[in-house]
Amino acid sequence: MRLSLLCALLLVTTPVWARPDLAPRLDPRSPTFWKARPSSRPLIIGSAALDTVHLADGTKLDRVLGGSAVYAAVAAAKGTSPVLVAPIGKDFPKRYVNLLERKGVDTSGLERSSGLSFAWTGRYLNSKDRVTVDTQLGVLADFQPKLPSGARPKYVFLANMSPEQQLHALEQLGRGRGRPRVVLDTMNLWIEKHRPALLRAIKRADLLLLNDEEAPMLAGKKDLAAAARAVLAMGPRMVIVKQGKHGATLYYRGEGASVRSFSVPVYPVQVKDTTGAGDSFGGAILSCLARVDRFDAKSVGTAMVYGAAVASATVESFSLTRLARITPAQIAQRFDHLSRQVNLSTLP
């Protein structure tokens, strides 16, 4: 079905309360959303990796394209033209750079050096739980992020990397009025081993992404909602807690000192590999925010629905295979399905 016809049908059949309160160019179910030029080109900083994954069924994926920033950038490229900043080694295949460029990612920020690329090996116990078998940081160990010459991003995703590297990037983004909106991701290793630096980075984030194990670990509270409230008190304007098959929940400050929440489910698919799902979710959120060019609870909530639609493709295959191929029409259809299960009109 042609995109324009599909989007028209979705808009007609979707209840008014389930439609984002946005102009047509900002609604993924509208053809205008896909035709309009985004307000800015988002910047994504993090890792590019060569992943070796042992799946629970015995399948082995050897040195496939991965990395937090790579997954985020490919997801973001569904709606914008993101600029990717990441270190790569002498062993990083040129075909992977070409693939990223074909998918709409600006690779001018890739920094190739004489060392070896970041390489991760993991083993999945089931569709969600995994253990790290080996990590070779390679060129990522000494990575000092540098903004591309002339870059003036309005939206930035600091993907999973050390808090010190995130802080180095933040120093180049400036402070006060006119600075870009920053989405920041992290992981349990940084919470455990680099807490002081992580707390400094969190204070400068507009939107912090954590999973349902990391939030309690960071906050020192077992209850997830209480943990999210405690993390909000650390400085970010909003917090999203990723909950795997249970979706994700946004926590934000309402009127006065109250903390409100908004949850988005996952799009139902057959899960094959969850590697990169959270990174794809974050990259798609950044892309949607760059199109909306607003940062409030409603725009972030809408971006979460969009992010869930895009990220659902990641888990349908190994590496970037399905994510790279999902079309705007498929994203619009998945967005519509998810939007029927939430009430975006409750968001301010």
pLDDT tens digits along 217-262: 999 999 999 999 999 999 999 999 999 999 999 999 987 778 999 9
User: What is residue 15's predicted lDDT score, i.e. its pLDDT?
Assistant: 45
- Strand-pair partners of 260: 252
Question: Which residue, 264, 192, 263, 259, is CA-closest to 226?
Answer: 259
At 6 the pLDDT is 46
pLDDT digits (tens, 9 = 90+) for 6-60: 454 444 444 443 444 556 767 888 888 777 777 778 999 999 999 998 888 888 8
Q: Which two tokens stand for residue 76?
A: 């973001």
Token readout for 103 is: 């998918």
Q: Which two tokens stand for residue 161?
A: 């990397």
What pTM was computed for the model? 0.90
Domains in the chain, CATH or no CATH each: 3-346 (3.40.1190.20)
DSSP 8-state secondary structure symbol assigned to residue 285: H
What is residue 20's predicted lDDT score, i.e. its pLDDT? 46
Q: How far apart are CA 274 and CA 277, in angstroms?
A: 5
Determine the pLDDT at residue 128: 64
Biggest alpha carbon–alpha carbon distance for the chain? 56
pLDDT for position 221:
95
Tokens for 184?
């920041």
Residues in the chain with pLDDT values less than 70: 1-23, 25, 127-128
Percent of the chain with pLDDT over 70: 93
Per-residue pLDDT at 11 = 46
* Tokens encoding 8: 């028209």
28: nearest Cα among 255, 292, 275, 346: 292
CA distance 224 to 239: 12
- Residues forming a β-bridge with 346: none
Q: How far is CA 231 from CA 202, 205, 262, in A?
A: 9, 12, 16
